[in-house]
Structure formats: C-alpha cells, structure tokens
Amino acid sequence: MFPEAGMSSDGVVSPWRAVVTESETEAIFDEHVNLVVWRRHWDRLPDSSVFMDPPRRLMRAVSGDPVNPMQIVHALGREGPCALTADLANLVELFAILTGTSEIGIRLETSAKQTCPKWHTDRVSLRLMTTYCGPGTEWLDGATVHRSATGDVLLAKGELWSCTPGACLHRSPDPLGVPRLLLTLDALE
C-alpha cells in the first residue's frame, strides 16, 4: 500500500512521509513535507463500539497543558476511561506539543457515508486525523491515490501553513456502507 517513505510509485520525491514512531511525526516541520503518516502497529485497535452504538458526532474542545485524560472521558460522555479514551488523550497531547497550543478541538464522527467525497485541502494550519474503524483517509501524491490504514495517524498541513508543496489534498473514502469512525484534531488558538 505504501511506497518507500518519501518516494512516489514512479520514484519521484513526494511531499509525504511514512513514519513508524511517534517521535518521527516531527517530520511534519520539514518545509517540503505536507503530510506525515504515522503507521502505528496495533496488536488490537481500541474498541470503537463505545462510540459507534448508537452512531454519533461529537465536537468538543479540551484544554490544559498537559491534557488531563479525564477531560477526554468527559468529552466523550463516558463514565470512566477505556482504550479509546486513552488513545485520544495521547493523540491530543501529541497534537498540543506539535502545535504549541493548549486549546484543541476534537471531532469524532461515525458515518457509513462518504462525508467529504471531493478532493480538498483544509482551512487550518495543521490537522491530525485517524480512522478507528472502517477505511482510512485518502490523499493524492501527483496522480497516485494513497489510503491510510485503519489506526494510522495523519498529520496534514492545511491552507494556513505556508509550505513549498502546498496543503495536503485529501478526501474521505467511500466506506461502501461500512461504519467509519474518524477523529480529527485542530488547534483552536
């Protein structure tokens, strides 16, 4: 699914990087990179059924430095922590560190439809995305379409971040009726 990190399928240097550790996500600060794909290796994905039954859309803001994991538990309307809330807390903390902000907007959405079918860029400086259930986000590298795996974390530069390759052009995949759970994080400051 992935060519060699930083190379398109035709051998041309591309504006995205695949990384395998959290610390390597700092590659997003390379001026020639507009997308970092952290290919996390899971023994088992967090149980997303805690959010998908019934399907819903949640938009909340959390703050604090560091982020208190109980804020995530309360934002999701849970009574106590679970693997999903723990992972969200870790991603919020990572995003806060990378962006230098303490106000993070969380959007966690379940949908069995293609929510953003058109290729687009986001009107943000940086966005974190991960798909907990269903097919991952797609992005363009020249004429080549790539898709993230379930559980991968994408850090995508948007229109408000000036960079040489420009903002990352991406879209949601057609989930073909399979429920998809997508997390996006944005800086609110």
Decide the pairing of beta strands 103-111 and 180-187.
Answer: antiparallel
Which of 2.60.40.10, 3.30.360.10, 2.60.120.10, 3.40.1640.10 would CATH assign to domain 16-187?
A: 2.60.120.10
pLDDT of residue 3: 41
The residues spanned by each domain of the chain are 16-187
Determine contact, residues 40/151, Cβ cutoff 8 Å.
yes
pLDDT of residue 2: 39
**pLDDT tens digits, one per residue of 23-67:** 999 999 999 999 999 999 877 778 777 676 665 677 778 876 677
pLDDT of residue 83: 86
pLDDT of residue 121: 92
Low-confidence ranges of the chain (pLDDT < 50): 1-5, 8
pLDDT of residue 1: 36
pLDDT of residue 177: 83
Count Cβ atoms below 10 Å from residue 146 Cβ, excluding itself: 21
pLDDT of residue 10: 52
- The pTM of the full predicted model, rounded to 2 decimals, is 0.87
| Phi, psi angle pair for 167, to nearest 5° | -70, 155
Amino acid identity for residue 85 in this structure: T
Arithmetic mean of pLDDT over the chain = 85
Comparing CA positions, the residue from 175, 181, 17 lying closest to residue 88 is 181
pLDDT of residue 12: 55
